[in-house]
Amino acid sequence: MSAAPARNVVELIGITKTFPGLVANDAINLELRAGEVHALLGENGAGKSTLMNILTGIYQPDAGEIILNGAKVRFTSPMQAIAAGIGMVHQHFKLIKAFTVAENIHLGWNETPRRVNAGELERRTTALAERFGLEVRPGARIEDLSAGEQQRVEILRVLSRGARVLILDEPTAVLTPTEATALARAVREFTASGYAVIFISHKLDEVLEIADRITVLRAGRKVATLPAVECTHARLATLMVGREIILPHSREEDAVHRPGSVVLQLSGVSTFNDQGVPALNEIDLDVRAGEIVGIAGVAGNGQRELTEVLTGIRLPTAGEVRVRGKSMNGASPAEFLQAGIGHVPEDRLRSGLAPSMAVADNAVLREYRKPPIARGPLFIPSAVRKLARRIVDDARVIVPNMRAPVRNLSGGNQQRLVARREMRVAETALVAAYPTRGLDVGAIDSMLRYLIEIRDRGVAVLLVSEELEELLSIADRVAVMFQGRIMGTFAARHAEAEQIGLLMGGHAGAMPTEVAA
Partner 1 sequence: MFRFHRVESIKPWTIIATRVISVVAALALGALLFAAAGYDVPRLAGDVMRGSFDNMFALEDLGLLVSPLILTGLAAAVTLRIGLWNIGGEGQFYAGAIAATVIGLEIHADPALMLVVLGAGGFLGGALWILIPALARAYLAVDEIITTLLLNFVAILFVNYLSTGPLRDPGQAVTSATARIPYDIPTLVGDLHWGLGVAVALAIVIALILAYSRWGYEVRLAGANRFAAHYAGIPVPRRLLQTMLLSGGIAGLAGMLEVTGTVHRLQGGISNNFGYLGVMVAVLAGGQPIGVLPAAVLMGIILNGGIVLQSYGVSIYQVLALTGLILLFIAVGEQLAYYRIPHMAQRPTR
The reply to whether 44 sits near partner 1 by the rule CB under 8 A is no
In whole angstroms, the minimum distance from the beta carbon of 300 to partner 1 comes to 18
CB of 404 to partner 1, least distance (A): 8
C-beta separation of 212 from 38 below 8 A: yes
Stretch that binds partner 1, among 163-171, 216-224, 367-375, 429-437 (CB under 8 A): 367-375
By CB under 8 A, is residue 58 in contact with partner 1?
no
What span, in angstroms and rounded, lies between the C-alpha atoms of 37 and 196?
A: 6
Name the residue among 50, 9, 43 with its Cα closest to residue 28: 50
In 195-288, which ranges are E strands?
196-201, 213-218, 221-227, 262-272, 278-288
> CB-wise, 297 or 312, nearer to partner 1?
312
Interface residue with partner 1, options 235, 366, 386, 485 (CB under 8 A) = 366
Determine how β-strand 8-19 pairs with β-strand 63-68: antiparallel
By CB under 8 A, residue 272 contacts partner 1: no
The residue type of 378 is: L
By beta-carbon proximity to partner 1, the closer residue of 404 and 497 is: 404
Q: Give the type of residue at 137.
A: R
Q: Decide if residue 62 touches partner 1 (CB under 8 A).
A: yes
Applying the rule CB under 8 A, the residues between 4 and 43 that interact with partner 1 are 18-20
Residues 391-430 that bind partner 1 (CB under 8 A): 404-405, 407-408
Instruction: Report how far residue 517's alpha carbon sits from residue 313's, in angstroms, rounded to the nearest whole number.
Output: 28
Q: Counting contacts by CB under 8 A, is residue 386 touching partner 1?
A: no
- Of 321, 304, 212, nearest to 264 (Cα)? 321
Counts for the chain of helices (H) and strands (E), in that order: 17, 22
Q: Which of 354, 398, 508, 511 is close enough to bind partner 1 by CB under 8 A?
A: 354
Between strands 378-379 and 374-375, the pairing is antiparallel
Nearer to partner 1, 219 or 357 (CB): 357
C-alpha span between 286 and 291 (Å, rounded): 10
Nearest to 142 by CA among 167, 105, 195, 170: 105
Residues 6+ away with beta carbon under 8 Å from 223: 216, 217, 239, 240
Per CB under 8 A, the segment of 169-177, 189-197, 305-313, 386-394 that binds partner 1 is 305-313
Contact 364, 371 (CB under 8 A): no
DSSP designation for 297: S
Identified binder of partner 1 from the candidate list 57, 259, 345, 484, rule CB under 8 A: 345
Q: Which of residues 193-222 bind partner 1 (CB under 8 A)?
A: none
Pick one of 9, 30, 54, 337: the residue that binds partner 1 (CB under 8 A). Answer: 337
Return the residue of 242, 332, 493, 513 that touches partner 1, per CB under 8 A.
332
Q: How far is the CB of 356 from partner 1 (least distance, A)?
A: 5
Which of 1, 11, 278, 379 binds partner 1 (CB under 8 A)? It is 379
Q: Which residues bind to partner 1, rule: CB under 8 A?
A: 18-20, 62, 311-313, 332-337, 343, 345, 350-357, 361, 365-366, 368-369, 374, 377-381, 404-405, 407-408
